[in-house]
Amino acid sequence: MNIITIPAGSNCYLVSQGEEHLMIDAGAPGMGAKIERTLVQHQIAMEQIRYLVLTHGHSDHIGNAALFQKKYGIPIVVHENDVALINNPFSQEMQATHPIGKTIIWVGKGSMKRNPPQPFTPDLIITEPATNRLGFGETIHPLPGHTRGSMAISFPTGELFVGDIFMNMINPHPAYLWEDQATLQKSIRAVRQLHTKTIYYGHGRPTPSRTRSDF
Protein backbone atom coordinates (compact mmCIF):
# COMPACT_ATOMS: atom_id res chain seq x y z
CA MET A 1 0.00 0.00 0.00
CA ASN A 2 1.21 3.48 -0.91
CA ILE A 3 -0.03 6.61 0.90
CA ILE A 4 0.29 10.19 -0.30
CA THR A 5 -0.37 12.94 2.26
CA ILE A 6 -1.54 16.32 0.96
CA PRO A 7 -1.77 19.12 3.56
CA ALA A 8 -4.81 21.08 2.41
CA GLY A 9 -6.24 22.86 5.44
CA SER A 10 -6.63 19.35 6.80
CA ASN A 11 -4.81 16.29 5.55
CA CYS A 12 -6.11 14.78 2.34
CA TYR A 13 -4.84 11.23 1.84
CA LEU A 14 -4.58 9.11 -1.28
CA VAL A 15 -4.35 5.39 -0.52
CA SER A 16 -3.17 3.30 -3.47
CA GLN A 17 -3.16 -0.44 -3.99
CA GLY A 18 -1.58 -0.93 -7.39
CA GLU A 19 -3.70 1.01 -9.87
CA GLU A 20 -6.63 1.34 -7.44
CA HIS A 21 -6.92 4.58 -5.49
CA LEU A 22 -8.99 5.71 -2.52
CA MET A 23 -9.10 9.32 -1.29
CA ILE A 24 -9.69 10.05 2.40
CA ASP A 25 -10.97 13.58 3.08
CA ALA A 26 -10.98 16.45 0.63
CA GLY A 27 -9.30 19.38 2.34
CA ALA A 28 -10.60 22.86 3.02
CA PRO A 29 -12.53 24.98 0.49
CA GLY A 30 -10.23 26.46 -2.13
CA MET A 31 -7.57 23.76 -1.81
CA GLY A 32 -8.80 21.63 -4.72
CA ALA A 33 -6.17 22.90 -7.16
CA LYS A 34 -3.35 22.00 -4.77
CA ILE A 35 -4.71 18.47 -4.40
CA GLU A 36 -5.04 18.13 -8.16
CA ARG A 37 -1.49 19.39 -8.78
CA THR A 38 -0.02 17.03 -6.21
CA LEU A 39 -1.65 14.01 -7.79
CA VAL A 40 -0.49 15.10 -11.25
CA GLN A 41 3.06 15.22 -9.86
CA HIS A 42 2.57 11.61 -8.75
CA GLN A 43 1.16 10.71 -12.19
CA ILE A 44 -2.24 9.82 -10.76
CA ALA A 45 -5.35 10.89 -12.65
CA MET A 46 -8.25 12.06 -10.50
CA GLU A 47 -10.54 9.90 -12.63
CA GLN A 48 -8.71 6.83 -11.29
CA ILE A 49 -9.96 7.47 -7.73
CA ARG A 50 -12.64 4.92 -6.92
CA TYR A 51 -14.08 6.61 -3.83
CA LEU A 52 -13.72 9.68 -1.65
CA VAL A 53 -14.34 8.81 2.01
CA LEU A 54 -15.08 11.69 4.36
CA THR A 55 -14.10 10.98 7.95
CA HIS A 56 -16.63 13.59 9.06
CA GLY A 57 -18.58 16.56 7.79
CA HIS A 58 -16.54 19.54 8.92
CA SER A 59 -15.76 22.16 6.31
CA ASP A 60 -11.99 21.64 6.32
CA HIS A 61 -12.47 17.96 5.45
CA ILE A 62 -15.26 18.19 2.85
CA GLY A 63 -14.21 21.46 1.22
CA ASN A 64 -13.52 20.09 -2.28
CA ALA A 65 -15.79 17.06 -2.26
CA ALA A 66 -18.45 18.73 -4.43
CA LEU A 67 -15.77 19.82 -6.93
CA PHE A 68 -14.26 16.35 -7.21
CA GLN A 69 -17.66 14.69 -7.52
CA LYS A 70 -18.86 17.06 -10.25
CA LYS A 71 -15.59 17.39 -12.17
CA TYR A 72 -14.36 13.79 -12.02
CA GLY A 73 -17.39 11.73 -11.03
CA ILE A 74 -15.75 10.49 -7.82
CA PRO A 75 -18.35 8.80 -5.56
CA ILE A 76 -18.50 10.27 -2.06
CA VAL A 77 -18.86 8.18 1.10
CA VAL A 78 -20.12 9.74 4.35
CA HIS A 79 -21.85 8.63 7.54
CA GLU A 80 -25.57 9.32 7.67
CA ASN A 81 -25.27 11.35 10.88
CA ASP A 82 -23.09 13.99 9.21
CA VAL A 83 -25.17 14.46 6.08
CA ALA A 84 -26.79 17.55 7.63
CA LEU A 85 -23.36 19.18 7.97
CA ILE A 86 -22.97 19.13 4.20
CA ASN A 87 -25.77 21.65 3.75
CA ASN A 88 -25.39 23.47 7.06
CA PRO A 89 -21.89 23.51 8.61
CA PHE A 90 -23.40 25.03 11.77
CA SER A 91 -25.94 22.25 12.34
CA GLN A 92 -23.82 20.65 15.08
CA GLU A 93 -22.72 22.99 17.88
CA MET A 94 -19.12 22.32 18.85
CA GLN A 95 -17.71 22.61 22.37
CA ALA A 96 -14.20 22.86 23.80
CA THR A 97 -12.42 23.50 27.08
CA HIS A 98 -8.79 23.54 25.88
CA PRO A 99 -7.50 26.85 24.42
CA ILE A 100 -6.56 25.09 21.18
CA GLY A 101 -10.10 23.78 20.78
CA LYS A 102 -11.63 27.19 21.54
CA THR A 103 -9.34 28.80 18.98
CA ILE A 104 -10.27 26.20 16.33
CA ILE A 105 -13.97 26.87 16.91
CA TRP A 106 -13.50 30.64 16.67
CA VAL A 107 -11.36 30.49 13.53
CA GLY A 108 -13.55 27.80 11.96
CA LYS A 109 -16.77 29.77 12.33
CA GLY A 110 -15.26 32.77 10.59
CA SER A 111 -13.82 30.65 7.81
CA MET A 112 -17.10 28.82 7.17
CA LYS A 113 -18.98 32.12 6.94
CA ARG A 114 -16.47 33.60 4.47
CA ASN A 115 -15.90 30.50 2.36
CA PRO A 116 -18.45 27.72 2.99
CA PRO A 117 -18.05 24.36 1.24
CA GLN A 118 -20.25 23.63 -1.75
CA PRO A 119 -23.11 21.23 -0.97
CA PHE A 120 -23.31 17.80 -2.62
CA THR A 121 -25.31 14.60 -2.45
CA PRO A 122 -23.36 11.60 -1.06
CA ASP A 123 -23.24 8.50 -3.24
CA LEU A 124 -22.79 5.99 -0.41
CA ILE A 125 -24.10 6.55 3.11
CA ILE A 126 -22.61 4.53 5.96
CA THR A 127 -24.91 3.50 8.79
CA GLU A 128 -22.90 0.81 10.59
CA PRO A 129 -19.42 -0.77 10.66
CA ALA A 130 -18.50 -2.14 7.24
CA THR A 131 -15.61 -4.25 5.95
CA ASN A 132 -14.42 -4.24 2.32
CA ARG A 133 -17.43 -2.18 1.28
CA LEU A 134 -15.15 -0.19 -1.02
CA GLY A 135 -13.00 -3.08 -2.21
CA PHE A 136 -9.74 -2.14 -0.48
CA GLY A 137 -10.00 -4.60 2.40
CA GLU A 138 -10.73 -1.60 4.61
CA THR A 139 -12.95 -1.49 7.68
CA ILE A 140 -15.02 1.62 8.29
CA HIS A 141 -15.58 2.28 11.98
CA PRO A 142 -18.35 4.75 12.93
CA LEU A 143 -16.92 6.56 15.97
CA PRO A 144 -19.12 9.52 16.93
CA GLY A 145 -18.33 12.27 19.38
CA HIS A 146 -16.15 14.75 17.52
CA THR A 147 -19.15 14.93 15.21
CA ARG A 148 -22.19 12.65 15.19
CA GLY A 149 -21.00 10.95 12.02
CA SER A 150 -17.24 10.73 12.57
CA MET A 151 -15.59 7.61 11.15
CA ALA A 152 -12.16 5.97 11.20
CA ILE A 153 -10.85 3.73 8.41
CA SER A 154 -8.43 0.86 9.03
CA PHE A 155 -6.63 -1.48 6.66
CA PRO A 156 -5.34 -5.06 7.09
CA THR A 157 -1.76 -3.79 6.63
CA GLY A 158 -2.05 -1.76 9.85
CA GLU A 159 -2.88 1.80 8.73
CA LEU A 160 -5.58 3.66 10.67
CA PHE A 161 -7.04 6.99 9.53
CA VAL A 162 -8.75 8.67 12.48
CA GLY A 163 -9.96 11.96 11.00
CA ASP A 164 -10.22 14.35 13.95
CA ILE A 165 -11.00 11.81 16.68
CA PHE A 166 -7.34 12.36 17.54
CA MET A 167 -5.17 15.27 16.41
CA ASN A 168 -1.40 15.63 16.22
CA MET A 169 -1.10 19.41 16.12
CA ILE A 170 1.54 19.45 18.89
CA ASN A 171 1.55 15.82 19.97
CA PRO A 172 -1.02 13.02 19.61
CA HIS A 173 -4.07 14.13 21.54
CA PRO A 174 -7.82 13.38 21.63
CA ALA A 175 -9.93 15.87 19.67
CA TYR A 176 -9.71 19.36 21.14
CA LEU A 177 -13.36 19.99 20.27
CA TRP A 178 -16.48 17.88 20.15
CA GLU A 179 -20.18 17.69 19.54
CA ASP A 180 -20.65 15.24 22.44
CA GLN A 181 -17.79 14.75 24.88
CA ALA A 182 -19.09 11.58 26.57
CA THR A 183 -19.60 9.90 23.20
CA LEU A 184 -16.17 11.03 22.07
CA GLN A 185 -14.60 9.35 25.11
CA LYS A 186 -16.24 6.05 24.13
CA SER A 187 -14.84 6.40 20.62
CA ILE A 188 -11.38 7.18 21.98
CA ARG A 189 -11.46 3.97 24.00
CA ALA A 190 -12.55 2.07 20.90
CA VAL A 191 -9.63 3.45 18.86
CA ARG A 192 -7.21 2.39 21.57
CA GLN A 193 -8.43 -1.19 21.20
CA LEU A 194 -7.75 -1.37 17.47
CA HIS A 195 -4.64 -3.27 16.40
CA THR A 196 -2.77 -0.95 14.06
CA LYS A 197 0.79 -0.03 13.09
CA THR A 198 0.48 3.59 12.00
CA ILE A 199 -2.07 6.29 12.81
CA TYR A 200 -2.87 8.98 10.25
CA TYR A 201 -4.51 12.16 11.53
CA GLY A 202 -6.67 14.82 9.97
CA HIS A 203 -4.20 17.33 11.40
CA GLY A 204 -0.52 16.56 11.89
CA ARG A 205 1.98 13.90 10.90
CA PRO A 206 1.36 10.16 11.24
CA THR A 207 2.77 8.32 14.23
CA PRO A 208 3.50 4.69 15.09
CA SER A 209 0.54 3.23 16.96
CA ARG A 210 2.75 2.58 20.02
CA THR A 211 2.12 6.26 20.83
CA ARG A 212 -1.46 5.35 21.67
CA SER A 213 -0.21 5.00 25.26
CA ASP A 214 0.38 8.76 25.17
CA PHE A 215 -3.23 9.60 24.28
Band the pLDDT of 179: cuts 50, 70, 90: very high
CATH number for the domain spanning 19: value is: 3.60.15.10
| Mean pLDDT for the stretch of residues 175-192 | 96
| Mean pLDDT for the stretch of residues 50-58 | 97
- Given a cut of 80, is residue 214 above it in pLDDT? no
Band the pLDDT of 110: cuts 50, 70, 90: confident
Q: How many distinct structural domains can be found in the chain?
A: 1
Longest dimension (CA), the chain: 44
Rounded to whole angstroms, the Cα distance separating 86 from 84 reads 5
135 contacts 128 by C-beta, under 8 angstroms: no
| Stretch among 100-109, 150-159, 164-173 having the lowest mean pLDDT | 100-109
What pLDDT sits at residue 209?
A: 82
For the CA atoms of 40, 43, 48, 54, what is the dihedral angle to 10 degrees?
-50
Running DSSP on this structure, what letter comes out for residue 199? E
| Mean pLDDT for the stretch of residues 121-129 | 97
Domain extent for 11: 2-214
Rounded to whole angstroms, the Cα distance separating 155 from 178 reads 26
- Given a cut of 80, is residue 213 above it in pLDDT? no
What pLDDT sits at residue 210?
A: 61
What pLDDT sits at residue 115?
A: 84
